Structure 1
Amino acid sequence: MPISRALPVAPMVLTLLAVGTASLPSEPHPTPASSYLPRLVVEGRAPAAAFLARHHTPGGGQTFGSTGPGIGPGDRFRAGSITKTFVATVVLQLAREGELGLDDSVEEHLPGLVQGHGNDGSAISLRALLTHTSGLYDYMAALPATDPALTGAAGPSAQPVTPAAAVRAAVARPPVAARGSYAYSNTNYALLGLVVQRVTGHPYAAEIRRRVLVPLRLTGTSLPGVRAVLPLPHSRGYHRSPADGTLREVTDVDPRFAGAAGELVSTLADLDAFYAALLGGRLLLPADLATLLDTRASAGVYGMGIYPQKLSCGLTVWGHNGHITGSYVRSAATRDGRHTFTFRVNTDTAPGAALEADLLEAEFCPPARSEGP
């Protein structure tokens, strides 16, 4: 989501850190973003951090940077809420095909599921789910945490649920905002996953594979379902206890609690390739892409599974972040998809918003506007 909650952590020892960047021959100098990697580790309290920047143009190239052990450019990791961009893309494809309408109500597709405690599925459109303007309570906040050591921004990782059960947990609470007001809620995308299955007869994960992963050859990306072990090669993920600063490995996590709101597993390269293809018009027709990027419903904060961030040099980049047990990741791209950038830290303690903004400025703004850390 656009604003992520960071967990308090203890300081860490930095004696073994090293920074490295690797550029293809077509990229004559390392990206300025490489100078921010040590700050990502220190301020994010992470064992390691990495990024991949790509210029998807003739003669363009890519730069990979990492600091700390154990993150390679092709390693799989949990991408959290970046899943939402994939889900929104599929929903807009289905709308173009006439399988559903963005102004259809939730009740039309999932009768009786969103009712009670002030919730009314007949008054909530699919468009409202896509833009987080439904007002629905976030099911992540509704579930009890059975393992407090793993409870973070992504919610209780030791509490797997079915999508319908997640929704029922949310609608047992009153709305958190008036319908039409922006309020980020994972419940919206849990519902969209159910809608995709209802109209296609296939799980949303199967539709993402068929419509996005296979055409784009994103071989490092998957939707694990019940599989807790990451595919190889993968890097490790960690959780740092807010109570005593203890670092605990949480690479193997049951992903069912995240579902259509955040179960995606991917790589730095695949996420760059996905946003390049999406914003470059390879997945949606121009009118549908414009709908995806329309932020008017949320007063400029969020489109449909994607959000903008305006930088000091006047450039607006588009993308999403993912905050899930053991991982924080952020992807951003220019509006035409020709310049993409994804970074990741291997802990669920997110870097501060200011540091993240500085990193994006360093990558996307002219060198004169980008200062070192």
Structure 2
Amino acid sequence: MHVRIGKKITFTALAAITAAGVGLGQPVAAAPAPRLDSLQDRVNAIQATKAVVGVQAQSIGPGGSRYATAGKSDRETGEAVEAGEAYRTGSTTKTFVATVVLQLVGEGKLSLDDTVERWLPGVVKGNGNDGSKITIRQLLQHTSGIFNYTFDFPPLTDKKAFEENRFTTWTGEQLVAIAMRHRPEFPPGSKWKYSNTNYTLAGMIIEKITGRPWYQEVTRRIIQPLGLRNTSAPYDQPFIIAPHMRGYSAFPTPENPDPPVEDAIDTSDWNPSGGGAAGAMVTTTADQNRFFIALVKGELLPPAQLAEMKTTVRAEELEVVWPGARYGLGLLQASLTCGGSYWGHPGDVAGYATRNGITDDGARSVVVETTGDGTNSDLSTLRAQNALIDKELCAAPSK
């Protein structure tokens, strides 16, 4: 639901130490770094970082589709991760929601330059918030300045609060009301800052225009046409029905950014209405790859709207994790070490972390899912996830 940046969780620089080998009477020499040439090697490298319970990845390219897994799917039973298990995908939901909004734009039912006030009169107001000065484009691009409600959201505070609130049903209006207790971060359009509240409002606008909740429109317009059989956009169903990875979190804080994985609780079952249009969806690596491939190839949006989606602004606060990070309308753009860039959208919700990437032509796509908190203070889990994506998208053409 959030991308683990800001007040909730902070990052510092990565520090890595390579073991040294010693020969009799010889100077100490650094051991050669291990070669990480396969998808399985990259998944193992993620699993080897702290506070990771399980990992799965699927990579699609000219040579076909490949899977790799590591770790535990369920700590209690000891079952290993299996390829194709479902998971909560958090903020990757935003790309689905942005796609529906842009479909409505293409159908002439709204404009990206419409104000929030036009469609949701009186919803964004108070404490300096003014929906008449915020456009739908600014919601989708995170340039609205609206406070991120998840920084003041009971279920994400700590383990006790999560346990007490995990089955509570939340409405979009309630989530926006949390944000309205706070002043805006900046005047609309003047900066970029990630806020889940933006997509809560986008979901409410979808319902105002179509007469159906955002999750029904995502299902009707994307999930069903693409045949994403293992993807769902649940409203308040707290249990994942399909075989799935269990999520685990010890709820890191700025004061304790790396609690031991042994302290993590099972976060798999919770009412996803707390994430709503900002992060409620459940999916699999195969379905998510299918979605992103269809999106960049123009199967879901007319050319004009896809171009709008890919029109980006600098996302400075994300650059510590994604070099060259820029953000469009529900799409993250990040640099590749082999030149150029890729598209995707990360997703984090308690106990689950989704990372993905797809080349602009849709020829290569990769999704990696990690359970547990990962290492937050030294960035090692995040960088191992990004290294996997970079390696797969920069792979040499198959012979």
Matches within 5 A, 1:1-373: 4-5=4-5, 32-55=38-61, 60-70=63-73, 71-145=81-155, 148-149=158-159, 160-180=169-189, 181-240=191-250, 242=252, 245=260, 246-296=263-313, 301-349=326-374, 352-366=381-395
- CA 1:78 to 1:333, structure 2 compared with 1: closer, same or farther past 3 Å? same
TM-score normalized with structure 1 length: 0.85
Equivalents in 1 of 2:58, 2:267: separation in Å? 23
2-structure distance, mates of 1:160, 1:150 = 17
Distance change >3 Å, CA 207–CA 326, structure 1 → 2: same
User: Which one-letter code corresponds to 2:55 in the other structure?
Assistant: A
Deviation for aligned residue 1:3: 5.2
SS in 2 for 1:82: helix
8 Å CA contact 1:145–1:158 kept in 2: the answer is: no
CA RMSD across the alignment: 2.5
CA separation of 1:302 and 1:249: change in aligned 2, threshold 3 A: same
**1:300-358 deviations in whole A, cap 9, x for unaligned?**
62001111111111031100111001210111100111211000112243654432332
- Which structure: larger Rg? 2
Q: Is the 8 A contact 1:119 1:175 kept in 2?
A: yes
Distance 1:272 1:326 in 2: 21
Q: Which moved more, 1:235-244 or 1:128-137?
A: 235-244
- Distance change in 2, residues 1:357/1:150 (3 Å): farther
Give the letter aligned to residue 42 of structure 1: A
Name the aligned partner's letter for residue 323 of structure 1.
Answer: D
Residues 52-79 of structure 1: CA deviation (Å, up to 9, x unaligned): 0012x5xx41000011133222211100
Q: CA, structure 1 residues 35+331, in 2 after alignment: closer, same or farther (shift >3 Å)?
A: same
Q: How far does residue 271 in structure 1 lie from its aligned partner after superposition?
A: 0.3
Q: Distance in 1 between matches of 2:160 and 2:221?
A: 33
My pick for the range that moved more, 127-136 or 285-294, is 285-294
Letter in 2 for 1:195: I
Relative to structure 1, the CA distance from residue 328 to residue 150 in structure 2 (aligned partners, 3 Å threshold; closer, same or farther) is farther
Query: CA–CA distance in 2 between the matches of 1:150 and 1:36?
Result: 34
Q: Any idea what SS the aligned residue of 2:53 has?
A: coil
Give the distance between the partners of 2:389 and 2:343, measured in 1 at CA.
11
Query: Following the alignment from structure 2 to structure 1, what is the Cα–Cα distance between the partners of residues 314 and 46?
Result: 33
TM-score between both structures, scaled by the size of structure 2: 0.80
How many Å separate the matches in 1 of 2:103 and 2:156?
38
Going from structure 1 to structure 2, the CA distance change for 1:42 and 1:297 (only over 3 Å counts) comes to: closer
Number of aligned residue pairs: give it: 341
User: Structure 1, residues 77-124: CA drift from partner, whole Å, max 9, x if none?
Assistant: 100000000000000000010111110000000000001111100000
Q: Which residue of structure 2 lines up, in the alignment, with residue 22 of structure 1?
A: none
Q: Is the 8 A contact 1:308 1:319 kept in 2?
A: yes
Q: Indicate the percent of aligned positions where both proteins have the same amino acid.
A: 35
Unaligned runs of 5+ in 2: 12-35, 74-80, 317-324
Deviates more, 1:163-172 or 1:295-304: 295-304
Contact 2:341 2:359 in 1 (8 A): yes
C-alpha distance in 1 between matches for 2:149 and 2:347: 17
Contact 1:49 1:346 in 2 (8 A): yes
Q: Any idea what SS the aligned residue of 2:365 has?
A: strand
Alpha carbons of 1:31 and 1:83: their partners in 2 closer, same or farther (altered >3 Å)? farther
Q: Structure 1, unaligned stretches of length 5 or more? A: 9-29, 369-373
In the TM superposition, residue 35 of structure 1 has moved relative to its aligned partner by 1.2
